[in-house]
Structure 1
Amino acid sequence: MTLKVWVGGAPAVAQSEKYALPIDIEGGQIMTATIGGKSITYEFPSGPIRKNVAAAFVNLWAATTDTVPEFAQVDISDNGDGSFTLESETPGMPYFVTILIGDGTNEKQLVTMQGTITGGTFTLTFNGQTTDPIAYDASAATVQTELEALSNIEVGDVDVTGVDGGPWTIEFKGNLADTDVSLLDYDDTLLEATNEQQTITLASCSGGTFALTFDGQTTDPIAYNASAATIESELEALLGIGAGNVSVSGSGPWVVEFVGTLRGTDVDQIMVDGSNLTGVLAASIAETTPGGNGVNERWLTDIVSSTSSSLATNFRLTGNGSVSSGTFDVLIVVDSTTIMDLDDIPYDVTIAELQELIEAELASYSSGRYVNCVAVRGTVSANGTTGSGQLSDGDNVSINLSTGIGINGGTVAVTVDSTGLAGGTYSKTNPGTIGWSSDWLTGLSSFYLTVGGESTDDLDFSSTAAQIVTALEGLSTVGAGNVQVTLSDESYSKAILIEFIGDLANQDTGMTVVMDSNATVVNKFTTKVLNGAGGTSEVQTLSIAGGPGSGTFALSFDGVDTDLLDYDSTAEEIETALEALPGIGAGNVSCSGGALPGSDVVITFAGSKAGLDIDPIVVIFGVTEETVKGGGDPTVDVQTTQTILTKTVIAESSGPNDWNTDGNWDTLEKPVNADSVLVPDGDDILYGLDQSDLTLALLHYTATATQMGLPRRDENGNIEYRDRHLKVTAAEIIIDSNSQLINIDVMDSSPTIEVLNSGSGRDGEYAVQIIGENSANTASLLVLSGNVGVAKGPKEAAYLKTITQRGGQLWIGQDVGLEDVERTGGQFHSDRTSINGTLAI
Structure 2
Amino acid sequence: MAICIWRGDAQSVAQVDRVTVDNVEIGDQFTLTINRKTVSYTATAGTPANVYQGLSAAIAAAAIAEFPMATSVAATDAQAAHLRLTGPDAGTPFIITEATINGGNAEVAVDVVQSGGDGVNMIQQIRLPAGLTGGTFTLSFEGQTTGNLTLDESAADVESALEALSNIDSGQVSVSGPDSGPWLVEFIGTRASSTQTLLTGNGTNLAGQSVGVATTAAGQPGDNHRLTISGTQALGETASIGFYLLPNEPDSTGSGTVASLHTDAQWLNLLAHVYGLSSSASLSMVRTTSTTATTRTYTIEVEIVAEKAGQAVLAPTVARSSISGLDQDAVVDSTTFSVGGNSTNEVQVVTLPGNPSGGTFTLTFQGQTTANLNYDQSSSDLQTALEALSNIGSGDVSVSGDDGGPWTIEFTGSLAGTDVGQMTASGANLTGGSVAISTVQAAVAHQNEQVLLTMSASVTSGTFTLSYDSSESSGIAYNATSASVKTALEGTSSIGSGDVNVSGPAGGPWLVEFTGSLAGQDITVITSDGTNLLGAGTQTIGITSLVSPTGPGHWDNAQNWSTGSVPADGDTVILEASDRPMLYGLDQSSVTLDALIIRASFVGSIGLPQVNQAGYLEYRDTHLQIGASDVRIGEGLGNGSERIRLDLGSVQTDVVIANSATPVRLGEYAIELLGTHASNVLRVYRGSVSSAQYAGQSAVWGTLQVGYADDPIGDVQLLMGDDATLGDVVVHGGLVTCFANAGSDITSMRITAGSVTLGGTDGLSQLDIEGGSLFYQTTGTLGGNAVVGGSGTLSFQGDLRSKTVTNAITCQADAANVLDPQGVVADLSIHFQSTSRFPELGTNFTAARS
User: Could you say whether these structures have the same fold, taking a TM-score greater than 0.5 normalized by the shorter chain as the test?
Assistant: no
Q: TM-score range by the shorter chain?
A: 0.3 to 0.5
Structure showing greater radius of gyration is 2
